[in-house]
Amino acid sequence: MDKMKVKSFFLGMVFVVIFFVVLPLLLIFLNNFFNLPVYSILYLNVLGFIFFDIGFILVFYFTIIHMETGRATVLPVIDKPKKFIIKGFYKYCRNPMYLADMLIFFGGFLILGHLLLLFYFLISFPIIHMFVVYIEEPELKKIFGKQYIEYTKKIPRWIPRKNTFI
């Protein structure tokens, strides 16, 4: 692995640790510090584990797909895509990796029950949406041009439609 790939991989890991470990732990600490509600309902805990596990498996799957294209990280601001991916879930939705992230965040809230984890989930989606719309998609249009523009006309950004197929 060359120096650039090592640097990209390291930056990607830092991102993952911050957003999937550090921030949630900080929010749990703050939730406890301010004595905010913590919910514990067995059925929601079980549902949370299901969401979390599905999200984790999907993120792992999407990471492998991206790594197969020669990227050291799936983050487009760190390691620009080299190949346009339209296989698997990308045939139905342009951003399945982010949806899997949301499953992890929501599952984490359902498992642990800390109120601030719910806010983390609710705030994360609009932030990710703005990132996708204003940073990621313009970059992908520059890199892949007409192919990406045609893809955006056929495939919805977030919620797959019944008749969505490539």
HSE-CB for 49 with a 13 A CA cutoff: 6
pLDDT at 132: 95
pLDDT at 12: 84
With pLDDT > 90 as the criterion, what percentage of the chain qualifies?
72
Q: What is the mean pLDDT of residues 6-15?
A: 85
Distance (Å, whole) CA 77 – CA 136: 8
Q: Over the stretch 133-157, which tens digit does the pLDDT of each residue have?
A: 999 999 999 999 999 999 999 999 9
- The CATH classification number of 3-154 equals 1.20.120.1630
pLDDT at 21: 96
Q: Using the structure block, give the residue that is written with the tokens 């932030």.
A: 127
Name the pLDDT band for 67 (thresholds 50, 70, 90): confident
| pTM recorded for the entire structure | 0.91
Judge whether 140 and 81 are in contact, CB under 8 Å: yes
Q: What is the mean pLDDT of residues 42-64?
A: 96
Backbone angles phi, psi at 135, to 5 degrees: -120, -60
Name the pLDDT band for 116 (thresholds 50, 70, 90): very high
User: Quick check: 58 pLDDT over 60?
Assistant: yes
